[in-house]
Amino acid sequence: MREGAQPVADRLRATGPGNDGPDGGPAGLRAIVLGAAAGGGFPQWNCRCTVCALAWDGDPRVNPRTQSSLAISADGVEWVLLNASPDLGAQIRATPSLQPRRGDDGSRDSPIRAVVLTNGDVDHVAGLLTLREKAPLTVFATAETHAAVGANPLFGVLDPALAAWREIHLGEPFAPLPGLAIEAFAVPGKVPLYLEGASVDIGTETGATIGLSVRCSGARLDHVPGCAAVTPALVARLNGTDALLFDGTVFRDDEMRLEGVGTKTGRRMGHLPVGGADGSLAALAGLAAGRKVYVHVNNTNPMLIDGSPERRAVDAAGWTVAEDGTEIALPVRGAAEETPWPSLPEPSRQTRLPTPPTLRTPTSSPSTTIAR
Ligand code: MLT
Ligand code: MN
Ligand code: ZN
């Protein structure tokens, strides 16, 4: 814990006698979906597809959603963001737990201590720019995502004296805060859109697209907001989780084209569809999970509509479609995590834009190379 953070945290911990959690809330892992939509949000600023039109018209069957981010905490006092969306400012204004406090010396003090990035996509990283106003922050990212984002001079607005970039490695748990252990794992994906070259490999398993397995007091939550395919290895890894938050970008692979708002399929964008014989509903049907929640839902996805056939299919399979503000509390199941603060190397700062990382590492699942 950083200097300056402790007094406020202690004061909050001292409140709420009789409650389990340090801040008067439930003890154990808490997660808040800050934004449940994919890139563009819902409704999207320039879109009047069938689903967006309902939102623009105020139809009660749909609720607007902001872009993809999750906040997690072991104590309700200090929080880690899993991705920082372009809507982060509005998300903080809507989420009391993330709002600033007055430090004991009168200084500014945010409960947000760290951000962990699952890829370098704009909807997951642009919110870092919102966090630039001189607050201590640690940003955890793989080498691939750091090369795409942290090395971009624009993100130098995060004052290097206060914001530390830490490199994370697949399969090596780290503790962004006491009591929280996170392990990154590769999921089938691709490079961010802005790094796509003349051709792009879809479904590679590298540090460019990761899932995060969060452990806290014996409970486990898995966050996979972007995934191009469900492999047997991924099913085996996710099995037994207490809560799975999974990529719900499109319901049909060709839904953007059907709506006339784009030509790319979901798979071409690195997202397997929810529905269909080989969609995520079918692929994860046998998964043992306490809760299954779709996140990163694109504005074209009809499962956003209450009562739609697609929503009914998802409900019937035991999934929920996340809303902004959806909370998940996982009770204490065992001892607090003891993963030490990692001695991670700080990536060296670069002064020029990075070249796209090489993503041709052999993988266990076949990847597809597609010309743009
Ligand atoms: C995605 O999830 O595919 C990306 O967020 C797309 C984008 O960068 O707009
Ligand atoms: Mn996205
Ligand atoms: Zn739309």
pLDDT for 133: 86
Q: Give me the domain span that covers residue 40.
A: 8-20+27-327
The first and second tokens of residue 87, run together, are 């809507």
Q: Tell whether the model's pLDDT for residue 340 goes beyond 60.
A: no
Say which ligand is closest to the CA of 271. Answer: 1
Contact predicate 346/146, CB 8 Å: no
Residue of 122, 196, 209, 301 best suited for mutating to test ligand 1, as the one with most atoms within 8 Å of CB:
122
Within a domain: 46: yes
pLDDT exceeds 70 at position 3: no
* Beta carbon of 266 within 6 Å of any ligand 1 atom: no
Average per-residue pLDDT in the chain? Answer: 89
pLDDT tens-digit profile of 144-198? 999 999 889 999 999 999 999 999 999 999 999 999 999 999 999 999 999 999 9
Alpha carbon distance 98, 92 (integer Å)? 6
310 is a domain residue? yes
Determine if ligand 1 sits within 6 Å of the CB of residue 123: yes
Å from CA of 123 to ligand 1 middle: 6
The two beta strands, 327-330 and 29-35, are antiparallel
* Residue 6: predicted pLDDT: 37
What pLDDT is recorded for position 138? Answer: 97
- pLDDT at position 359 is 30
Tell whether the torsion through CA atoms of 171, 174, 176 and 177 is positive or negative. positive
pLDDT higher for 361 or 84?
84
Q: Is residue 1 part of a domain?
A: no
- Is residue 128 included in any domain, yes or no? yes
Q: Kindly report the CATH number assigned to the domain that includes residue 292.
A: 3.60.15.10
User: What's the domain count of the chain?
Assistant: 1
Supply the DSSP symbol for 238.
Answer: H
Does 332 map to a domain?
no
- What is the C-alpha separation between 85 and 94, in angstroms, rounded? 14
Residue 339 belongs to some domain of the structure: no
Q: Can you give the pTM of this predicted structure?
A: 0.89
- The residue contributing the CA closest to ligand 1 atom 6 is 39
The pLDDT of residue 25 is: 78
Residue 103 lies in a domain: yes
